[in-house]
Structure formats: structure tokens, C-alpha cells
Amino acid sequence: MSNTLHHKLVTMLDVVYPTVDTDVLAQRLLETMGLGSDAPSPLAHQNNWDESDVMLITYADTVQRRDEKPLRILFQFLEDCLQDTVSAVHILPFFPYSSDDGFSVMDYLAVNESHGDWDDIERIAGKYKLMADLVINHMSARSRWFENFKKRIDPGKDYFFEARPTDDLSAVVRPRTSPLLNAVQTDDGERYVWCTFSEDQVDLNFANPRVLNEFVGIIRYYLERGITIFRLDAVAFLWKEVGTPSIHLQQTHELIKILRLLIEHHTPYAVVITETNVPNRENLTYFGNANEAHVIYNFSLPPLLINTLVTGNCRHLKTWLMSMPPAQMGTTYLNFIASHDGVGLRPTDGLLAEEEKQRLINTMESFGGKVSYRRTPDGKDQPYEMNVALFDALKGTAERGADHWQLHRFLCAHTIMLALEGIPAFYIHSLLGTENDRERVENTGRLRSINRGQWNLDRLEAELADPLSHHHKVFTELRRLIAIRRRQPAFHPNATQFTLHLGLQLFGFWRQSMARHQSIFCIHNISDEVQQVSLGDINLIGTDQWQDLISGLKIEDLSGSLTLKPYQSVWLSNRE
């Protein structure tokens, strides 16, 4: 078996490193990963998830209590409030860092002392599937590796990607407006390092196979600490070549295959997720042939769903859903509406017209949101993402502004997300109904801070216990909906899905369990007006008993109709 694994590795490595002795490199990687002839062979097309899987996304220190380590408070919050609600937790970078709220990592093998320690991480991993970030594209300019780069010593001397100001970099795809190259004084003169995201986040040089070997060692360390889900951060930019766009290059895809191969031979139930905030067609390529990412983020969902609910028109959302290919067994989508980042606009390329994007931007700004920009190859600045808390993003409509339907609109968004093909993921601030944190933006000077606030646990518990608080209403109802979802075989991430055609104000789709014994018709009024649904248009099977899983309403007359209040959703199922 090890020879087979070795051969597979060599074949992939040959694509990435044509001038390297890949036979030797493959053996080194296997040794670093601790793999030998007894390494378990993963089953092909194995689904490492089911309908009960729901993920929480949070920073280690989002929930705090004075004089206590945040990771211990997070575990307490999970156990007290979410033990029966979520199965997986994504703790955003919990390592020592120098900027970007953790994504400028100084030491991949340490836990930020202010958050806790590895024992705290392992405690959470012992009760929940734990996802951690592999911040693989770049590293802090204050890291030991980069200090060694400047001193021209190992490890680090050749670990970072360099270019020259005279190089043709006009085709490079940028997610930011900051300079791509930054001058650094080293012990043998001035050098220019490549910085995709910021001057403090220096891109790593995977053309050096030692960098790959370092990350294989980091991955093994994480696996041994109980981490089983790996989020490959900003992985689309991993491989750079002067004169190219330096995004989505073939070497990047091969490196993902290599990492997956090693990870799943070490831990067959481990999962690789790629974070590629790019247009939808490009995002889908990271499935490969079911041999790259197990899971990809459904990046087009957040902007399209928000646009649908603030315009009261589901045309674009429906068109997109019909175009989405069913994920092969062993792969699926990660559905989310909000995250620690803003709502990306690049994933709407080819889906929303420019004037529609601008209308959406204007609406978010009227609800207190901000807009971040990126620089295009021709030197122009274009809107890159909208920075806004989801609860405030849905406080009204584009046409009429803020209204009294905010809570209903917000719940409708999540009811849609919960029912779609894929695994649902809730950003903690959405689960809690947190609003825009304008004060934090002012304090940090960073627009993304608007949705990265922190809660004192005592205050949070008081809000969640107050039945008049919108935080209580959001949290209570979302937990109820999640509990319903987790019991339905038709909501398995890989269960069949077909889009329904019910007009522009009703967004609907049909899910069927893989054993075909359960069907759920998911219908959502995405407008601020009452809508009628003809049951004849849905084509419910007459010999089955149908009821709405959300309200408990039993459908007696299949030739009749349903009345949906503004933003009301129904999950019509033929089994309870």
C-alpha cells in the first residue's frame, strides 16, 4: 500500500517540482507525516458528514469573561448553550499573530497565550469536530521564519516569495489595494517580497519544497491535537509565477491534492475545505475530480441571498441555484451567509449586473455597512466586499429602507440556508443577532471589525435569557430550526435537490433523502407582502401525509393553497 501511496505522491509532485528528485521528496513527506505501510487507505467518495452536521464559526475570544481564558469560556458556552445544536466548531486562527485578527501568524505550532493553550483546543476537539485554519499562503513579517529570511539563515532564508519591481506583474489578480511588492532590508541587501494581502503578511514560497514539508509537519501536529477539518486559507493565491495572474495556477491544485492525500491517509475521516473567495465558476474548480477539497465554501450564496431579501425578487438566486452542479459523493458545499470577513462581491461576477451590485452596496451602506476595495490589473479600484453585520444587512429593503420585518427577514435567510444542499455554518454573531459594531471600526481602523465584536459572557447570558431581547428571539428560533433540520434525512448534505418555479416572490426547492423515503418542499416568501402558494403547483404525492415541519400544520387538501406571511417559510414533508 505504501508503494501505491508513494507512487501517487511522486506523480503529483512531478507536476509541481519537475526539476526535483520527487522520489526522495515523496519519501520525506511520508516520513514527516508519520505514514508507513500500515497507513489506512480512505474509502473513495465517503461522506464524512450527514444531516446532523451544523458548524459554528467563531474567534477564540468572541465570548469572554474577565480573568478567564477565552478558550475555556468558549467551551463553557458550547456546553451550556450549543451542545445539542452544533456538531462542529471552526475556531478562527488561535495562534500568536501580529495583525488581521489572527491571519498574520507568527507561530503555527503555538496557541496564543491570551486565548489559552493546546489543552483547551484538545478539550473542544474531544466533544466537537474541530476546524482550524491552515494559513498557508502567507506568514507574519514578525515571525521567526521571516526574521531568518532577513538574516539569510535557515529555516526561513528561502521560505518567502520574491520578485523585482521591474518584473511584469500587470496580470496579477489582487484582493487588495495595498502594494504587491514590499522592499525589505536583509543582511545581503534589499529584497522585494510578495505581499498579496498586506505588508505584514508575506507570501510563502512553495516553489521551495522545504516549505511544503514544513506545512506537512504542521498538519500532522494539528491532527495529533484532534483537529480534523482543515480550512486552507486564501489557497487560490498559493503558487505565484511572474507574468501570470498568480491565482488558480495548476501547481496550486496539485498541492491541494498532495495535502489531501497525506491528510486522509493519516486520518481517513479528516476533511479539507478550501477558502476561495472568487467567482462561482472558479470556486467550483476546487472540487477537482473529487480529489481536491472535500468541501468548498458556497461564496455566491451570501450576496445573492441578501440581495434577494432586500429586493424581494429571487430571480438571480434561483438562476444560480439551478446552475449549481450536485456535489459528487465525498464532496459537498459549506453554506453560510455571514463570516468573520465581509460579504464578498467577486462571487457575484456574472450573476449580478453592475448596477444591481451598486444598488446592493448602496442599500448596505444605508444600513450602516462599509465597503472594501481591491485593485484590478489596470490599476482601478473595485468594490471587493461589503462589511456589515448580517442582522443589520437585513433590516429593510432596497426600495423602502428600514422596516419592522428585520427579525422575520433574518430568520427567513437562515431557514433557506439550513435547507440547501450542503453543510450549514453559522457565524456566532449571526446566531446571536449581533448588530454593527461601529465603535470597534473606529478603534481599529479596519472595516472588517464591524462584524468582529466581542461579548462578555454574563451580559450575553442576560440578553439570551430576556424574552424581549432580539438576541433571545434570534437564538431561540434558530436553535429550534436547527433541531428540526438535524432530524431530516432529506437534509443530508448530499441529498437530491431540485429548484421549484413559483414566481419571483417565492423561492422554493425540493429535497429528497438518498433512500428516497422522505421529500421536503422548502418554500420561502422572500417579500414583504403576503403570497399565495397553489399546492397543485408543487405536485405533492396524494398518497402521502404532508405537514409543515416548522409550524406543525398538516396539509389536508392537496388541491388547495397555502398563505405565506411576509418572510414566512414552510418545510412541507411527507414524514414527521
- pLDDT (tens digit, 9 = 90+) per residue, 408-420? 999 999 999 999 9
Q: What cell does 329 get? A: 459523493
Q: Give the SS3 label for residue 359.
A: helix
- pLDDT (tens digit, 9 = 90+) per residue, 546-575? 999 999 999 988 888 999 999 999 999 998
- pLDDT (tens digit, 9 = 90+) per residue, 321-331? 999 999 999 99
Q: What cell does 499 get? A: 429548484
User: Residues at the annotated binding site?
Assistant: 100, 138, 231-233, 340-341, 448
Mean pLDDT of the 373-384 span? 89
How far is the CA of 497 from the CAs of 28, 440, 525, in angstroms?
Answer: 44, 41, 19
Number of H helices, E strands in the chain: 18, 27
> Active site residue: 203, 233, 392, 548, which one?
233
Q: Please, what CATH class does the domain formed by 496-573 belong to?
A: mainly beta
The pTM for the full model equals 0.96
- In the chain, CATH 3.90.400.10 sits at 138-203
Which amino acid belongs to residue 367? F
CA atoms within 13 A on the CB side of 337: 29
Per the CB < 8 A criterion, the answer to whether 194 and 161 are in contact is yes
Q: What cell does 195 get? A: 505581499
Question: Residue 207: pLDDT above 80?
Answer: yes
Chain length of the chain? 576
* 3-state percent breakdown (helix, strand, coil) of the chain, nearest 5: 35, 20, 45
Neighbours of 459 (CB within 10 A): 12
d(CA 239, CA 37): 31
pLDDT at 289: 95
- In the chain, CATH 2.60.40.1180 sits at 496-573
Per the CB < 8 A criterion, the answer to whether 200 and 141 are in contact is yes
pLDDT at 37: 59
Of the listed ranges 353-362, 480-489, 535-544, the least confidently predicted one is: 535-544
Mean pLDDT of the 210-220 span? 98
* Average pLDDT taken over every residue of the chain: 96
Question: Phi-psi region for residue 397, left (φ > 0), alpha (ψ -120 to 50) or beta?
Answer: beta
d(CA 120, CA 61): 13
- In the chain, CATH 3.20.20.80 sits at 55-136+208-491
Per the CB < 8 A criterion, the answer to whether 201 and 138 are in contact is yes
Mean pLDDT of the 242-265 span? 97
Nearest to 498, CA basis, from 395, 421, 433, 411: 421
Per the CB < 8 A criterion, the answer to whether 188 and 157 are in contact is no
d(CA 32, CA 34): 5
Which amino acid belongs to residue 546? W
Say if domain 138-203 classifies as CATH 3.40.50.800. no
**CATH architecture for segment(s) 55-136+208-491:** Alpha-Beta Barrel (3.20)
Question: Residue 1: pLDDT above 60?
Answer: no
Q: How far apart are the first and last CA of the chain?
A: 46
With cut-offs at 50, 70 and 90, classify the pLDDT of residue 541.
confident
DSSP 140-164: ETTSHHHHHHHHT-TTTTT-B-B--
d(CA 207, CA 201): 18
User: Residues at the annotated binding site for substrate?
Assistant: 100, 138, 231-233, 340-341, 448
Angle at 211 between CA 210 and CA 214, to 5 degrees: 85
d(CA 319, CA 325): 12
d(CA 502, CA 343): 27
The conformation of residue 496, written as its DSSP 8-state character, comes to: E
- pLDDT (tens digit, 9 = 90+) per residue, 69-120? 999 999 999 999 999 999 999 999 999 999 999 999 999 999 999 999 999 9
Per the CB < 8 A criterion, the answer to whether 362 and 318 are in contact is no
- pLDDT (tens digit, 9 = 90+) per residue, 513-522? 999 999 999 9
With cut-offs at 50, 70 and 90, classify the pLDDT of residue 38.
low
With cut-offs at 50, 70 and 90, classify the pLDDT of residue 15.
very high
Mean pLDDT of the 485-490 span? 98
Residue 233 appears among annotated catalytic residues: yes
pLDDT at 395: 98
Q: What cell does 396 get? A: 429593510
